[in-house]
Amino acid sequence: MISNELPTSLSTWSFELKIFLNNKFSKPLNIEANAVPNRYLYTLQLSYLEGNKMISIINNTKSIVTTVSNPTNNEKLMEHIERGACCNINPNINSILAGNASSTNNSIIGPGSNTGVAGSNVITNSGIGNSSNNGGSGSGGGGGGSTGNAGSSGSGFEQYDFFLQSKLESLWNLKQTIRGEGGYGYLLSVPNMTEGKVENFKVRTNNCFLHGAFKGFLIEIEHLNDDETAAATATATSSTATHTTNSGADGSTTIDKNQIIRNFLNSIEKIQNLLKLYRFPEGSLSYNVLSDSKLDYLSDLCQQYCDALQF
């Protein structure tokens, strides 16, 4: 049934999510290692994002969205992350903190998580075990290779990874690398979801691999708003292992916070209706955002991927 509603194919896409854990032995001498709390650094690369962007989240509180295109940008970003690892991120250096540059709303729902108040990304896990695998990064077997360079030029992402895993090795240790490559995308128009109106969605699918082992099938659904003045675009990701939804504002139009939240909730409702209509695989659903007070599309999308891809 769904194939009849997919007249347009989008370009193939790939993603790579890396999860780093703080080095507890990189601490002041007067503090015991077992007294240092766990802190996480996530980096997400999505080949379909324009501008060769990489999204980074530190300890689920601060985000950096950067264009990794040359060594200069990498050095500035790493200086930024190094400071943020020890204290708080300075929002004035080559970065976009959640909600500071855009009023986009995002949310993610992951296993065991609580529903957030605002956001437009939803992630669901079903049919896959939720046990944590904390080994080193492995090859993306079947989905092979780094997805960071897909659809982009240069070795910016490789330089970023090298910098992070070498010069900042004393602060962050790589624990997991989750990859998906060669995924498909479609533009879907669904009539009668709203009376007298056609709703448009972008649907992207991909296989998820951890340490070379297949872990699940990812479906990302983005609700496309017809109104150009609306703040949010909604995205959803679903899977036999993971499911995500996202909605947010592009920041091009000034719009009040309540309207942003209404647009987000409206998009989430449409995505949920789509999931029911086409009987998408069930799983735990979450609408978490990085910051309830400052919504940001890319930051919240990364947060949702992090929550959904907890294998």
Q: How does pLDDT run across 104-153, given as a tens digit for each residue?
A: 333 333 333 322 223 344 544 433 333 333 333 222 233 333 333 333 33
Residue scoring higher pLDDT (91 or 42): 42
Residue scoring higher pLDDT (65 or 193): 65
Distance CA 178, CA 310 (A): 10
Residue scoring higher pLDDT (230 or 79): 79
Report yes or no: 202 and 8 within 8 Å, Cβ to Cβ. no
Report yes or no: 157 and 145 within 8 Å, Cβ to Cβ. no
pLDDT of residue 31: 79
pLDDT of residue 283: 64
The answer to whether residue 156 scores a pLDDT higher than 90 is: no
The answer to whether residue 169 scores a pLDDT higher than 90 is: no
Residue scoring higher pLDDT (143 or 184): 184
Instruction: Return mean pLDDT, the chain.
Output: 66
Record the tokens describing residue 135, joined without a space: 């080994």
pLDDT of residue 81: 55
pLDDT of residue 147: 32
The answer to whether residue 218 scores a pLDDT higher than 80 is: yes
pLDDT of residue 45: 92
Residue scoring higher pLDDT (160 or 243): 160
Report yes or no: 297 and 105 within 8 Å, Cβ to Cβ. yes
Residue scoring higher pLDDT (20 or 92): 20
pLDDT of residue 157: 57
Could you tell me the pLDDT band of residue 279, with boundaries at 50, 70 and 90? confident
Q: Report the relative pairing of strands 286-288 and 108-109 from DSSP bridges.
A: antiparallel
The answer to whether residue 88 scores a pLDDT higher than 50 is: no
pLDDT of residue 280: 85
Q: Percentage of the chain with pLDDT > 90?
A: 13
Query: What are the pLDDT digits (tens) for 234-244?
Result: 555 544 445 56
pLDDT of residue 41: 92
Report yes or no: 45 and 15 within 8 Å, Cβ to Cβ. yes
Exposed / middle / buried, residue 36 (Cβ in 10 Å: 0-12, 13-18, 19+): middle
The answer to whether residue 70 scores a pLDDT higher than 80 is: no
Compute CA distances 212 → 12, 25, 256, whole Å: 20, 30, 45
